[in-house]
Structure formats: structure tokens, C-alpha cells
Amino acid sequence: MNKCVVITFHRIYNKEWFKSILEYIGDKYKYITANQLYDILNYRMPSYNICHITFDDGHKSFYENAYPILKELGIPATLFISPQIVIDEKNYWFQIIKDFDQNHFKVFLINNINKLFKNNINKYSIESILKMLPYNIINYLINNYILLNKILLKPYINITLEQLEEISKSDLIEIGSHTINHPILANETIENAEYEIFESILQLQKIINKNVYFFAFPNGQPNLDFTEREINIIHKTNIKLAFSTKSDKVNINSNKYIIPRIGISKGNNIYIKNKIYFSKYWETLRELTHIKTETKERLRLKSLLDFKEIKTY
């Protein structure tokens, strides 16, 4: 296999930009479905210059901006959804905190969880700190902050149940699981991790009236956001491929449950070309140019965590 890539997007605010990027990639790669990618990997079929497009979370811009362009160009894609978010029409926790006074919330956050870490964590970003915690603690902290500060939450910003049902009927779009609530699975107990994976697949299948064969790990960094434990859980399901956010190209030896993906959120054709070409080394290159990366931050935070304190929280 040569030059096989999986691209992941989250939000698409500019239709023209998105269309131009797809056309640019399409000049160099043949677009394939998730099932075709599975066949290629499972049967070790020789394939050259192929690309699969994925989207995580189901932001409303997928339905408003990306979906029309995918239909216009006839490009298949997989959309990874956390079904409870859609059913409840409650934004993801990382979307909710964007509306907070960031300095004020950080003080609140550190005052409430400082005991969980062995050193001062003030220099770390809010998202990096929260991504080291179990979902129930994240939820508890956010809900308390909202109540204490009488915060009026912004309207729901992701796709609706009706839109999801419509999208699922398209021959172009495959619906995949992204857990129930988008926790960092490695931070959860095995019982919670199993629930988040198993129940998300069952809920999605009930909504779209189809089998769900594809899964994307929330946040998606191997050995940080998910481990062998979560892969073993996936093995107990009907999932054919599980996707990470490890930046790299796909090859014939790629683990079907740790498929790498190259994230794209901005940039012109030259930027996209370089990001794909240097995908495996992209984070290292960013660090060399003194750009702080979340993965590095979180690895440092991991070394400071006191797991005994988390268990007694």
C-alpha cells in the first residue's frame, strides 16, 4: 500500500475552502468508503493513492456546510457521533467551557482539583487539565461552576436527531460511534469504558436502524486517550475499524483498531500538502518551532497526577 491517508475534520465554517481542499486532495488520491478501507486492510489488497474522509463530533457545520459539498462532489465520508449528545441536545463539555470566562474558570478549576496533582498546574491549559480527569469529575466541575455563577448556556450547536437520521440514509455517509459522552476512555474505570463503547453502538444502531461498524476514540491519542484495554473492549463488538488521531499515513501493516488520521482544520494547498507529507513528524516539527502541543502538556500532567486522590474524589 502506498500513500493511503485518512483525513479528519471537526468543524467546517467555509464551504468554498472545504470544496477547494477536497478537490486538491482528490487530484492526488482516490476517495474510498470506510468499508473499502476495511477490505483493503483486512485482505491486504494492494492499493495506491487512496483517501478516506472522516468527521468527529457532529458539529452543525457538518450538516450545513460539509454535507452539501460531499454530495455535490460525490465523496464518501464517515461521521463519528456521540448519540447521547444528539438525543439530549446538550453540547459537549469542551464546547460548553468555551463560553466561560477562561481566567475565572481556571482559578475555580485549580482550587477544586489541586489536590489531584503533585505540583502546581497553573501553567497548563484548561482543556489539557480536564482531559486528564474522568468524565464524572469533569461534569461535576462544569455543572458546579454553572450553578455558582448563574451561567446561561449557549444554544445547542451540533446536528439534531432529525438531521442525523437524514444523513444516515445517504449512500455517501457512514455513521460511526464516538462513545456516549466523549470521555477520555483511558481515564475511566473499565466498567465505564465498556458502557461508553457498547451503549454508544447500541444507541446509534437504534437511531439509524443500521449496524454500526466503525468507531473513533475521543481525542484519540494512543496510550494517552486509549490503551490496549479499550482495544480489547472494541474486539468484543462488531466494529471493523477503530480510528485514532495519531498523525500518520495508513499502510498494509496498520492495526485495524488504531487507524491513524491526519487532522485538517485550516490552511491552503501548500499547507495541506506538507501536513500530509510530514504527517508522522508533524507534532515534532511544531515543537521544534516552539509551538506548545497539547499532547506534550498532557504527558507532563500525567506524571503529576495522584491516582489515589482521583479514586477518593
pLDDT score of 1: 43
pLDDT score of 73: 98
Task: Please state which of the four CATH numbers 2.40.50.840, 3.20.20.370, 1.10.287.620, 3.30.2350.10 is assigned to the domain occupying 2-89+157-277.
Answer: 3.20.20.370
List, for residues 228-244, the tens digit of each pLDDT value. 999 999 999 999 999 99
CB-facing half-sphere around the CA of 191: CA atoms within 13 A: 0
**Amino acid identity of 100?**
F
- CB burial class (10 A; 0-12, 13-18, 19+) of residue 74? exposed
In the chain, list all ranges with CATH 3.20.20.370.
2-89+157-277
Cβ-Cβ contacts under 8 Å for 207 (sequence gap 6 or more): 83, 86, 87, 161, 164, 165, 168
In 3D space, the residue among 253, 251, 176 whose CA is nearest the CA of residue 220 turns out to be 176
Task: Indicate the helix (H) or strand (E) that contains 58.
Answer: none
pLDDT score of 285: 80
- Using left for φ > 0, alpha for ψ between -120 and 50, and beta otherwise, residue 154 falls in beta
∠ Cα 245 124 187 (to 5°): 50
Cα 290 to Cα 85, 164, 287, 293, 296, distances in angstroms? 36, 40, 5, 9, 12
d(CA 18, CA 12): 7
- DSSP state for residue 157 in the 8-state scheme: -
pLDDT score of 3: 75
Low-confidence ranges of the chain (pLDDT < 70): 1-2, 289-291, 312
pLDDT score of 291: 65
d(CA 35, CA 214): 9
Q: b or e along 217-228 (b: 16 or more beta carbons within 10 Å of the residue's beta carbon)? A: bbbbbbebbbee
Residue 147 C-alpha cell reads as: 450553578
Cα 230 to Cα 66, 189, 246, 265, 283, distances in angstroms? 30, 11, 16, 27, 24
Indicate whether this model's pTM tops 0.85.
Answer: yes
